[in-house]
Amino acid sequence: MVRRDAQMLVDAGAFGNLSELIREAVRQFVASHKPSNLELAVELYRQDKVSLGKAAAIAGLEYSKMVDALYLRGVQPKIGPASRKEAEQDLAAAGRL
């Protein structure tokens, strides 16, 4: 049924060929299912693919607003060192600057 309907659209001149129709259908589908920049930023941050600052930039939010957005979505922001050892390493590195 779908193939017949697609062919009718091509035959009626709405699309040059089936490939063109399929490309347009996929483009429309992807565009209508695209997550918001905020949801994209939260998911990338959750997966450790971007930093908190980068996530805020993707979402178009200030840093503090991004922190709030993460909390509201059940994501614990990683702020500051995870351990005393990491804090000491950060301080040592800062002293070398």
**Domains of the chain: which residue ranges?**
2-32, 37-95
pTM higher than 0.85: no
| Arithmetic mean of pLDDT, 78-89 | 82
Q: What is the pLDDT of residue 93?
A: 80
Condensed to tens digits (0 to 9), the pLDDT of residues 37-56 reads: 999 999 999 999 999 999 99
Q: Are 37 and 58 in contact (CB under 8 A)?
A: yes
* Model confidence band, residue 79 (pLDDT cutoffs 50, 70, 90): confident
DSSP H helices in 16-97: 18-32, 37-46, 52-59, 63-72, 84-95
* Cα-based distances in Å from 2 to 8, 24, 89: 10, 15, 61
Q: What is the pLDDT of residue 70?
A: 97
